[in-house]
């Protein structure tokens, strides 16, 4: 269930990069891949890196939330004896 947040964020990132590419090449009728191959490659690399970064941030958030839950449970056990 919690992976839905990750997938939704990834879709948002993908649509943002598609928007960037369409803005970049909006004025050109034909995109010459030989001329723009480095720009397209850079966009693909940035897309992959941003999705990996989003996954790492998401996993850090989940682990810190789990640690807080465990900490609260330990405090409750100590209080209740």
Give me the pLDDT at residue 2, please. 66
pLDDT of residue 50: 87
pLDDT at site 29: 74
pLDDT single digits (tens) 18-67:
888 888 777 777 777 777 788 888 888 988 898 898 888 888 888 888 88
* Of 16, 20, 55, nearest in space to 40 by CA: 20
The percentage of the chain sitting over the pLDDT mark of 70, rounded to a whole number, equals 98
Query: Nearest to residue 43, comparing CAs of 31, 59, 61?
Result: 31
Whole-model pTM above 0.85?
no
């Amino acid at each position: 269930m919690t992976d839905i947040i990750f997938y939704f964020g990834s879709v948002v990132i993908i649509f943002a990069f598609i928007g960037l590419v369409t803005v970049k090449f909006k004025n050109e009728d034909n995109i010459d891949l030989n001329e723009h191959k480095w720009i397209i490659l850079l966009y693909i690399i940035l897309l992959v890196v941003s999705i990996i970064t989003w996954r790492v941030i998401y996993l850090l958030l989940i682990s810190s939330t789990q640690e807080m839950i465990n900490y609260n449970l330990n405090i409750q056990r100590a209080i209740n004896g």
